[in-house]
Amino acid sequence: MRIIGAGLPRTATLTQKVALEMLGFDPCYHMVNVLGDLSKTPRWQEALEGNSNWDEIFRNFQATVDWPGAFFYRDLMEHYPEARVLLSVRDGDAWERSMGETIWGIFYGDMLIHDLSTAWSRVDPQWASYIWLMKEMWQKSGLLGAEDDGAGSGKMARAMERYNQEVISAVPPERLLVWSPGDGWGPLCDFLGVAVPEVPLPHINDTKQFGDRIVDAAVDALNRWREQEVRVGAHP
């Protein structure tokens, strides 16, 4: 493990994953690794309970960004003392709005992704386990507003600013880069000691793409469940 991403979700972490892999830190762990194989969820539940096996979780990975890895950045710093820490940042109000339309929306929002995720949890124990894990992590972090504290309250934006300052205080300056995609390749490449690519920094995972992925995956899961129900009903 050479790079530990401490930045919160919705701070262009998928852009970071792709960028780091382009720079040679390949593969880079990200929430998409969990979503792509929900059987990995119990490993993170164990970590949340204090029974982590970082070398097993991150076997063959050179970097990690986004949650669940970023949630444990302090533990990972200690376990991988040579690794550098990347804190991705974003304007607090913009982050709160993005959270309201995505992650907070899944848990509490009066929106389609919430409805479909809830239905998906009813028919897929692995998705239900994943949602439980995410809720536990957000509640422990104190960052996610409750049902009455969605986008517009300012609570999440203030919590994000506090979190960023905690990271800056916790990480030795020589190990830390505070960065956003708007800073471009230069600071990131200087920090990592690699050449600047001749291609633009990628931009990935806007809010619409997040919602589309949840909707598509939930509909697929519900269709599979319904097809199974029909087959069972036809062949008692």
Tokens of 89: 């940042």
CATH number for position 58: 3.40.50.300
| Helical H segments across 36-152, by residue range | 41-48, 54-57, 73-79, 92-101, 103-108, 112-123, 125-141
Range of the domain at 228: 3-234
List pLDDT tens digits, range 24-82: 999 999 999 998 899 989 999 999 999 999 999 999 999 999 999 999 999 999 999 99
- Tally the domains of the chain: 1
Q: Looking at the DSSP assignment, which residues form a beta bridge with residue 4?
A: 64, 85
Alpha-carbon 137 to chain mean position: 11
List pLDDT tens digits, range 132-157: 999 899 888 887 766 566 667 788 89
Is the omega angle on the peptide bond into residue 200 within 30 degrees of 0, that is, cis?
no
- pTM, two decimal places: 0.89
Contact 32, 22 (CB under 8 A): no
User: CA of 233: how far to CAs of 133, 171, 192, in Å?
Assistant: 33, 58, 58
